[in-house]
Structure 1
Amino acid sequence: MATTRIGLDRLPSAARAAVEEHTGPLLTVEETAEGFNSEIAARVTSATGAWHIKGLRTGHPRAWTQRREAEVAPFLTGLAPALRWRVETAGWDLLGFEMLSGHHADYAPGSPDLPEVAALLRRLGEAPCPGIELRHAGQRLERYAAHRDDLRFFTGAHVLHTDLNNANVLVDNHAPQSDRARLVDWAWATRGAAWLDAGYWVIWLIAAGHSPASAEKWAAEIPAWLTAPAEGITAFAAANANVWSEISTADPDPWTLHLVTAATTWHAHRRTG
């Protein structure tokens, strides 16, 4: 469920002053609607630069997401926006990221963004997991796997994003070709098998109009996907069909129902294909 969003102007004066110690006096503030985890989400500029600010009260039930993003950010060079500063004061935890240019990735069949996202996931698949506390993929999927033994397929030592919503991928066509796409919102960073993010992408590709076969063909552009046993991919599809079924039952809005349809379509394809 989405966190209630408030404006930057509603921060305590001490928190706002602490932010401006890093930025200088703010010239523009553009509140943003994307994302579900943050109470504060804004793009700001000053005479010295531009930042994307994310924030939560330190007592918020999801305060751990701020800590997770702050801890993982130094290990994501070239994969995510750089974390420039962090402010913890007056009951608030605020992160100042570099402001990225570009547009949200288009996952539709034939989109020119698809090769850029595949290149991003190839780079991510080569990244070892940093030595920080992260949940394991098996822990996150434990309640959803069809068989407990299936959890062995999800084990690994790579850092995973796990939320391949196209709104979390920014593509900048003016950036160098090898570095055009970045992943934002690492609140759900996880440790696991390198191929899992390609699997998460498959679900969003199907939701964007791909057939399961087409989506898996794009996943096969990521070398880690080719290391996954067929049985493991099927187990992953089954677990995610259960994940999205639970989400859509608890929060049955159009987009969650769309994702449960995509996940169950993929699972059916894996069982019969």
Structure 2
Amino acid sequence: MATTRIGLDRLPATARAAVEQHTDPLLTVVETAEGFNSEIAARVTSTTGTWHIKGLRTDHPRAWTQRREAAIAPFLTGLGPALHWRVETAGWDLLGFEALDGHHADYSPGSPDLPEVAALLRRLGETPCPGIELRRAEQRLERYAVHPDDLHFFAGRNLLHTDLNNTNVLVNDHAPQGHRARLVDWAWATRGAPWLDAGYWVIWLIASGHTPTSAEHQAAEIPAWHTAPAEGITAFAAANRNVWDEISTADPDPWTLRLATATAAWQEHRKVV
């Protein structure tokens, strides 16, 4: 369920003042439409710089997402936006991130962004998982696995993003090739098997027009994908079909139904692999 978005101008005056201690008086505020976790999401500028601000009330049911993003940010050099400051005051938790330039990744077949996303996932696969509190993949999928024994396929020690929605991937065409893509929104960072993010990408690729075969071909560009046992991939596809069936039933929206259709197609494909 999406969090209700409010404008930065509705912050308490003391919270706004605390932000401007880091930014100086704001000159422009552009509210961001994408994303589901934050009440505040805006790109702001002042005479001293540009930031992307994310915020939630400290008593919000999803306040943990702010804490998770603040904790993981120092470990994401070259993968995600740098966290420049954090303000906790007047009942609000506000994060000031580096404002990334670029466009949302295009996952459609033949897109020039696909090699950049694959390079990004390869870099992520080489990044050590920090010793901070993270959810575990086998816990997150526990209710959705077709067989309890399937859960061991998902367990591991790798750092995972797990939300490969194309709007969470920004591609800067002016950056060096192979380093153009960055991942935002790390609230669902997880510890698990090294191939799972490639698997999550497969789902979004199918939802973007790929056949399951084509999507798995793209995933094969990530070395970790080749560590996955075939039965583990099949179990992952089945579990995610259950995830998206539940989400799309509770919140029948065009995009949730699209993901439910994609995961169903992948599971059916895995039955004949």
- Segments of 4+ moved more than 2 angstroms: none
1:6 corresponds to: 6
Q: Distance in 2 between matches of 1:76 and 1:154?
A: 22
Q: Deviations over 1:5-24 (max 9, x none)?
A: 00000000000000001000
Structure 1-normalised TM-score?
0.99
Structure 1: stretches of 5+ with no match in the other structure = none
1:61 corresponds to: 61
1:193 corresponds to: 193
Q: Deviations over 1:246-268 (max 9, x none)?
A: 00010011110110000010010
Q: Distance in 1 between matches of 2:192 and 2:128?
A: 10
Cα deviation for residue 178 of structure 1 reads: 2.8
Structure 2: stretches of 5+ with no match in the other structure = none
Give the residue type in structure 1 aligned to 2:146: A
Q: Distance in 2 between matches of 1:217 and 1:128?
A: 26
2:52 corresponds to: 52
Q: How does 1:1-273 map to 2 (within 5 A)?
A: 1-273=1-273
Q: Distance in 1 between matches of 2:10 and 2:135?
A: 33
Q: Distance in 2 between matches of 1:193 and 1:22?
A: 38
Q: Distance in 1 between matches of 2:90 and 2:194?
A: 39
Query: Residue 61 of structure 1: SS of its match in structure 2?
Result: coil
Structure 2-normalised TM-score?
0.99
Give the residue type in structure 2 aligned to 1:107: Y
**Count of residues in correspondence between the two structures:** 273
Q: Deviations over 1:48-107 (max 9, x none)?
A: 100000000000000000000000000010000000000000000000000000000000
Q: Distance in 2 between matches of 1:159 and 1:37?
A: 20
Query: Residue 241 of structure 1: SS of its match in structure 2?
Result: helix
Query: Residue 177 of structure 1: SS of its match in structure 2?
Result: coil
Cα deviation for residue 175 of structure 1 reads: 0.6
Query: Residue 272 of structure 1: SS of its match in structure 2?
Result: coil
